[in-house]
Amino acid sequence: MLPIDYRYCPECSTPLSEGMVDGRLRKYCTQCHFVRYENPLPVVVALAQKDGRFLLIRRAIPPKKGYWGFPSGFVESGETPEEACLRELEEEAGVSGEIQRLLRVGRLEDTELYGDMLVVTYLVRVTSDTPVAESDEVDEVRYYSASELPSYLARSLRDVIEEVGGTS
């Protein structure tokens, strides 16, 4: 489901109109104050390493089902991005970690499910032992050295990998 395309005002059920509000085309309600502002979803990514190798998960659900990637997920209300990052690492890869530093803040558009996302990537050091795929969202977890990374990841992360280093 790409971001919900509201047809009715969620506050008073009046059919929404569309027009320029605050310099952008937006949906709004003519009967109350409601304006449909669209914001990216906040996502955190754990670029997690142990002994110079990267911890990757294989996604068991869309988007990108069957692809390897870094543990990631949405920030929940009440969490800091750092807390969300370590929680996702634990949920998806079954390991605990320690935030080393903020690596990137960027934008990504997922055309499959979630639409526009604000993506915050942290470098994380894995502090516990064997990773386990214990979430329904993940079917395999393992470490990759820099040279073993799937080509689609190695390409998109070349600059990050150079920056953080890793064993090849």
Q: In the set 11, 76, 98, 140, which binds Zn ion (CB under 5 A)?
A: 11
User: Please, are residues 29 and 36 in contact by the beta-carbon 8 Å criterion?
Assistant: no
Binding mask 70-109 for Zn ion (x = CB under 5 A): ----------------------------------------
Q: Nearest distance from residue 22's CB to Zn ion, in Å?
A: 17
Q: Which residue, chain included where needed, has tokens 């085309």?
A: 25
Q: In the set 12, 102, 113, 132, which binds Zn ion (CB under 5 A)?
A: 12
Q: Nearest distance from residue 33's CB to Zn ion, in Å?
A: 7
User: What radius of gyration do the chain's Cα atoms show?
Assistant: 19
Report residue 27 CA to chain centroid gap.
27
Name the maximum alpha-carbon separation found in the chain: 61
Nearer to Zn ion, 34 or 54 (CB): 34
Closest listed residue to residue 48, CA positions, set 33, 70, 21: 70
Question: 14 — phi, psi (to 5°)?
Answer: -70, 140
- H/E element, 86: helix 81-93
Binding mask 19-58 for Zn ion (x = CB under 5 A): ----------x-xx-x------------------------
Write the DSSP assignment of 64-84 as a string of letters. Answer: STT-EE--EEEPPTT--HHHH
Nearer to Zn ion, 27 or 59 (CB): 27
Nearer to Zn ion, 9 or 44 (CB): 9
**Residue ranges in contact with Zn ion by CB under 5 A:** 9, 11-12, 14, 29, 31-32, 34
